[in-house]
Structure 1
Amino acid sequence: MPKFAETIFQIMKKFFLSTTVLAIIACLLWATPFTAIKIGLKYTTPLQFAGLRFFLSGLIILPFIKDFRVKVKEASKRWRFVLWVALLQTTFLYGLFYTGISYVPGALGAMLIGAQPLFAAIMAHIMLRNDKMSWQKVFAILLGLSGVCIISLGRADFVFTTTIPIGVGILLLNNIVGSTGNVIVSRDAKNMPPRVLASFSMIIGGAMLLLFSIPIEHPNWTAVHPGEYYISLGWLAMVSALAITIWFGLLGREGVKVSNLNTWKFIIPIFGACLSWLVLPNENPDTISLIGMFVIACSLLLVNFLNRRAQKAQVRLSSMASH
């Protein structure tokens, strides 16, 4: 390969493997499942569908694990950690999500799920020494959350029902569980390959969801569904396999903070709205959604500015210490 072409290749490789680009790719993937979830839930119960989705996701990753036997042996020594991640990041997280979302209107559910970066920052502040909140970071996160609220309220009517307090409580607990799982992966998964952790945790977590669905939902295991169901299930399984592997890898990177990484999740509703405008015939851009997107963009720019300023300050301190 010519030297110029090799240089271009290395630049492109560095760009596409950067934390920012990979975080955006993961969030783009997470923005696509909503329609597929709606299709799947027409034919199966929530916990059964979620269990099948993540069990298949874990199986999809298995063939891509290099030195499989060696990695399995290493992972088996940390089975408690893998089980803990499986419970937090799959079983409890998605069990609470699928349950809570059924109790609240779509707009309110979107806002509560959109608050995940705020909860991630709080849990990181409590559990990690090197990821403390500042008033500037809190302002940036609240700014992003306000953008999510603007988009959500602009896309659906809010109708109060008696089940809303139950749903709100479940979804808030969902945010706490998911944020705690993110912190634990960031703190304790440094020496575990992301594919191994993602695969084993989703297989175990998915199996537990399937087991829980039996006494709670009494699902029908013998029913044959239309093709759209299996297409939706396959797409969701592939999305989870890729997105969660990427996310676990980013959480394990040196210097990546849980609070900063999770702010990228604010772009999920932006991607979701854009996909709706592209795919659904009755969906078109509206002023409220565009305002919400602009607010989220300002939030992300502010977070990145704060990150760069903190990195420069750290470099200056290191330089002064070395002299």
Structure 2
Amino acid sequence: MPNNRSGTLLLAVIACLLWSTAFVGVKVGLRYAGPFAFAGQRFMLSGLLLLPFWWARRPNRSTVCSHGGMILSVALFQTFILYGLFYFGMTLIPGALAAMVIGASPLVTAVLAHYCMPGDRLSAIKGSSLLLGGIGVAVLSLSRQPWVSASGLVELAGIGVLLLANVAGALGNILVARHRTKIDPVFLNSAQLFIGGLGLWLLSLLLEVQPAEIVPWSYYAALGWLAFLSAAAFSIWFILLRRPGVRVSELNLWKFLIPVCGALFSWLLLPEEEPSLWPFAGMLCIAAAIVLFNLQSVRTRRD
């Protein structure tokens, strides 16, 4: 059991590190395409990338039909709504700030899991660690002083859009965890990514002007990397959510790593973004939340 737990934690950290690189890639891609078109292309490609990994053990038609509602529900919350809001929000705020706001997702997930998942209740220590992490995200967000200018109000709206994306992602996680069926999680991920991406791309045809000029190689590099990380990270996450004994709130706590690493990558790779004192203070709160939670977990296992 300890080895299984260690493996779960390692895979969770790997998935979160992959996700933390997305903010840079999204910012690069949005220079040349609308948010819904870029998101749709990314997730359709992600779904196709996973095809070789489940085709040999593909489910039959009756199995797909019996789980069709669940697949569509996951695609709706986990890709279409979550990433429709995420990409739109990314057009309003810097990549580093977006990484920090998305860092509130463990808090949102834990609260929803408390009410939707039997046996996944908030303890005092877990609640305190999540609150500390939420304070870290609040410090990071408010340090931008969004109320002092019109651009600041746009950023505040972007923060609100990304918080709604957190709710959609949390509901998607709960859907996957509650339906512990025999359907292959890699197939589930591939199907929901492609369906959600197709919906976003079709939405872009209605709402966005398609680029006429030839886009540079950096666009395709960002698109390829984002497609890969979605295929890899979501497959890892869906597998972990299906493991016996894995709680949605505990697993999602590791997503507090995403704002820290995402902001660091944005500062290092995007020349228009740079760090300041308050973001570091927020990061310290997030790091303390992770340490506090895991110290309590270690004590529980020893007892």
| TM-score, scaled to structure 1 | 0.82
* Partner secondary structure for residue 50 of structure 2: helix
- Which residue type is aligned with residue 300 of structure 1? I
Q: What pairs up with 1:200-215 in 2 under 5 angstroms? A: 200-215=191-206
* Partner secondary structure for residue 47 of structure 2: helix
User: Corresponding residue for 2:164?
Assistant: 173
Contact 1:110 1:152 in 2 (8 A): no
- Which residue type is aligned with residue 21 of structure 1? L
1:193 to 184, 189, 206: 184
Is 1:253 the counterpart of 2:206 in the alignment? no
Query: Partners of 1:268 and 1:171 in 2: how far apart?
Result: 14
User: Corresponding residue for 2:289?
Assistant: 299
| % same residue | 44
**Stretch moving more, 101-110 or 171-180:** 101-110
User: Corresponding residue for 2:256?
Assistant: 266
Q: For the structure 1 residues 279 and 121, does the alpha-carbon distance in structure 2 shift closer, same or farther, using more than 3 Å as the test?
A: same
Contact 1:190 1:253 in 2 (8 A): no
Query: Partners of 2:159 and 2:137 in 1: how far apart?
Result: 16
Q: Could you report, residue by residue, the CA deviation over 1:233-255 in whole angstroms, capped at 9, with x for unpaired residues? A: 00110011001111111111111
Q: For the structure 1 residues 134 and 79, does the alpha-carbon distance in structure 2 shift closer, same or farther, using more than 3 Å as the test?
A: same
* Partner secondary structure for residue 58 of structure 2: helix
Q: Cα offset for 1:301? A: 1.7
Contact 2:29 2:222 in 1 (8 A): yes
Q: Cα offset for 1:308? A: 3.5
Q: Cα offset for 1:116? A: 0.9
Query: Partners of 2:187 and 2:124 in 1: how far apart?
Result: 37
Contact 2:46 2:194 in 1 (8 A): yes
Please say which structure displays the higher CA radius of gyration.
Answer: 1
- Which residue type is aligned with residue 36 of structure 1? G
Query: Partners of 2:195 and 2:62 in 1: how far apart?
Result: 16
2:214 to 224, 231, 245: 224
User: Corresponding residue for 1:55?
Assistant: 44
Q: What pairs up with 1:134-173 in 2 under 5 angstroms? A: 134-151=123-140, 158=146, 159-161=148-150, 162-163=153-154, 166-173=157-164
Contact 2:129 2:292 in 1 (8 A): yes
User: Corresponding residue for 1:321?
Assistant: none
- Which residue type is aligned with residue 192 of structure 1? I
Q: For the structure 1 residues 207 and 284, does the alpha-carbon distance in structure 2 shift closer, same or farther, using more than 3 Å as the test?
A: closer
Query: Partners of 2:74 and 2:25 in 1: how far apart?
Result: 25
Is 1:120 the counterpart of 2:118 in the alignment? no
1:42 to 31, 45, 49: 31
* Partner secondary structure for residue 136 of structure 1: helix
- Number of residue pairs aligned between Structure 1 and Structure 2: 299
Q: For the structure 1 residues 71 and 199, does the alpha-carbon distance in structure 2 shift closer, same or farther, using more than 3 Å as the test?
A: farther
Contact 1:54 1:237 in 2 (8 A): yes
Contact 2:44 2:198 in 1 (8 A): yes
Q: For the structure 1 residues 311 and 38, does the alpha-carbon distance in structure 2 shift closer, same or farther, using more than 3 Å as the test?
A: same
Q: Cα offset for 1:166? A: 4.3
Contact 2:43 2:230 in 1 (8 A): yes
- Which residue type is aligned with residue 77 of structure 1? S
User: Corresponding residue for 1:244?
Assistant: 234
